[in-house]
């Protein structure tokens, strides 16, 4: 078990919090979506309620070790001030004498936001001296940036050598839900894996196959599995070099007694366009010059029926080209089936998260992961540097 924020004394202490404030900005540097800031508020508020002196740190964009004005965290300081209802002090940098002075001068209940960590190339290089400088700003370390936990960077992993780290509420929730699903799942357990390519999700499928009772495959990657079973898939996206692997995974599922579900009908279109001619056909009747862009109505019903009796559902990746309205039905119906089930449901990975948010069912999902690459690697069973760096209870 890893330590979390409630296991450490923070009263009157300077607390370094690694956040994920890597928010999208428009061309005028206005924040277009503040979800990542909102998600860290419970951790920050807890520290303020417990009289801590709060030092927040994050990266933004890819400034490649240079101080680039458009990647400044100033817009984040402004938004945080509004959300917290108190002034957030913006530091001119994240290390150095001036920043040290600001940190040491903090009073309980004050908040200091450090400038972009990636303005220093030492951050991504996990430089020990840089880690030490960051650590020297505080007396307690909290990590709440799950989206960065798969990176062995100075503020994520290196700092733990000099300042013991505990998990903030957001990170603690990710470990509890995703870590729990991977290490100690409840049964019956279903995994739904979608998205465009098998190659992106091989590790996830391989890691989860021995643990699940049901595996549902959709999205573009399902085409490769359908091709492996000898179906004609027309002009659909397919990874020809992964067909043998797909056959192997289907065999492995059989051997392990896992129900391996592929679409039984699909929505096909004449072109990759929302307003192209499209229709639903059984999987053995895909026209040679058409392409598969979604799972069909019968597949949706089959998947929903299977999910109804599950105790745990992990979902990563959409069922079709959900960005186009005509091919979003499979993903929407799946979101509804997951939301309607009594299972503990975990949705991870960028596209599945946007899909669930689009359907307006986000509040019916037990846990929506904040980390794209991090949740994927966690589901693959990999050890994440940022989780490993946390102090044990």
Q: Per-residue confidence at 350, pLDDT binned at 50, 70, 90? A: low
Pair (206, 160) in one structural domain = no
Q: Which of 18, 36, 242, 332 is catalytic?
A: 36
Pair (150, 263) in one structural domain = no
Q: 316: which 2 tokens?
A: 């990563």
- Residue 297 in domain: yes
- Residue 55 in domain: yes
- Asked if pLDDT for residue 352 goes beyond 80, the answer is no
Pair (289, 144) in one structural domain = no
Pair (243, 297) in one structural domain = yes
The pLDDT > 70 percentage for the chain reads 99
Q: Which of 235, 373, 381, 382 is catalytic?
A: 373
Among residues 139, 170, 201, the one where a domain terminates is 170
- Asked if pLDDT for residue 276 goes beyond 70, the answer is yes
Among residues 170, 191, 220, the one where a domain terminates is 170
Q: Which of 3, 125, 132, 197 is catalytic?
A: 197
Q: Are 261 and 217 in contact (CB under 8 A)?
A: yes
**What is the full DSSP assignment across 259-317?**
EEE--SEEEEESSSSTTS-EEEEEGGG--TT-EEEEE-HHHHHHHHHHHTT-SEEEEES
- Residue 114 in domain: yes
Q: What is the pLDDT of residue 182?
A: 85
- Asked if pLDDT for residue 151 goes beyond 80, the answer is yes
197 is catalytic: yes
Q: What is the pLDDT of residue 327?
A: 96
Pair (203, 283) in one structural domain = yes
Pair (164, 181) in one structural domain = no
Q: Are 235 and 279 in contact (CB under 8 A)?
A: no
- Residue 389 in domain: no
Pair (230, 337) in one structural domain = yes
Pair (143, 260) in one structural domain = no
Pair (220, 365) in one structural domain = yes
Q: What share of the chain is helix, strand, coil (3-state, %, to 5)?
A: 40, 15, 40
What CATH number does residue 282 fall under?
3.40.50.1260
Number of structural domains (the chain) is 2
**Tens of pLDDT, residues 163-187:** 999 999 999 999 999 988 888 899 9
List the single range of 50-64, 232-246, 361-375 with lowest mean pLDDT. Answer: 361-375
Q: What is the pLDDT of residue 371?
A: 79
- Residue 391 in domain: no
- Asked if pLDDT for residue 239 goes beyond 80, the answer is yes
Pair (197, 113) in one structural domain = no
373 is catalytic: yes
- Residue 388 in domain: no
**Tens of pLDDT, residues 109-130:** 999 999 999 999 999 999 999 9
Q: How far apart are CA 193 and CA 205, in angstroms?
A: 8
Q: Per-residue confidence at 199, pLDDT binned at 50, 70, 90? A: confident
Pair (64, 149) in one structural domain = yes
Pair (194, 155) in one structural domain = no
36 is catalytic: yes
List the single range of 85-99, 206-220, 355-369 with lowest mean pLDDT. Answer: 355-369
- Asked if pLDDT for residue 354 goes beyond 80, the answer is no
**What is the full DSSP assignment across 225-259?**
HHHHTT---TT----GGGHHHHHHHHHHHHHTT-E
Q: 34: which 2 tokens?
A: 């503040």
Q: Are 216 and 190 in contact (CB under 8 A)?
A: yes
Q: Which of 350, 358, 372, 381 is catalytic?
A: 350
- Domain that residue 21 falls in: 5-170
Among residues 112, 137, 170, the one where a domain terminates is 170
């Amino acid at each position: 078990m890893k330590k979390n924020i409630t296991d450490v004394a923070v009263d009157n202490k300077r607390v370094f919090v690694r956040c994920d404030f890597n928010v999208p900005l428009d061309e005028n540097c206005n924040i277009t979506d503040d979800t990542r800031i909102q998600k860290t508020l419970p951790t920050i508020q807890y520290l303020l309620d417990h009289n801590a002196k709060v030092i927040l740190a994050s990266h933004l964009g890819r400034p490649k070790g240079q101080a680039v004005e458009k990647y400044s965290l100033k817009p984040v300081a402004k938004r945080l001030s509004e959300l917290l209802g108190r002034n957030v002090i913006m530091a001119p940098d994240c290390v150095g004498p001036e920043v040290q002075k600001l940190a040491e001068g903090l009073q309980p209940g004050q908040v200091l936001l450090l400038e972009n960590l990636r303005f220093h190339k030492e951050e991504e290089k996990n430089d020990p001296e840089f880690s030490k400088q960051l650590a020297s700003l505080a007396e307690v370390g909290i990590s709440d940036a799950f989206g960065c936990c798969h990176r062995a960077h100075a503020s994520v992993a290196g700092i733990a050598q000099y300042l013991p780290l505990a998990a903030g509420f957001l990170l603690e929730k990710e470990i509890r839900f995703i870590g729990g699903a991977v290490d100690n799942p409840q049964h019956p357990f279903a995994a739904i894996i979608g998205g465009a390519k098998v190659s992106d999700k091989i590790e996830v499928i391989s890691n989860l196959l021995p643990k699940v009772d049901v595996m549902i495959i959709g999205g573009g990657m399902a085409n490769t599995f359908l091709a492996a079973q000898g179906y004609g898939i027309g002009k659909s996206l397919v990874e020809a070099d992964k067909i043998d692997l797909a056959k192997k995974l289907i065999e492995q599922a059989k051997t392990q007694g896992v129900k391996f579900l592929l679409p039984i009908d699909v929505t096909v279109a004449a072109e990759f366009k929302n307003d192209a001619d499209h229709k639903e056909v059984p999987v053995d009747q895909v026209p040679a010059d058409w392409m598969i862009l979604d799972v069909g109505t019968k597949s949706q019903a089959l998947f929903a029926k299977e999910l109804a009796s599950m105790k745990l559902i992990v979902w990563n990746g959409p069922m079709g080209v959900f960005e186009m309205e005509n091919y979003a039905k499979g993903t929407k119906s799946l979101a509804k089936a997951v939301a309607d089930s009594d299972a503990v449901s975990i949705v991870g990975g960028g596209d599945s998260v946007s899909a669930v948010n689009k359907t307006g069912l986000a509040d019916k999902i037990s846990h929506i992961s904040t980390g794209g690459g991090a949740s994927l690697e966690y589901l693959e069973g990999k050890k994440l540097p940022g989780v490993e760096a946390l102090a044990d209870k």
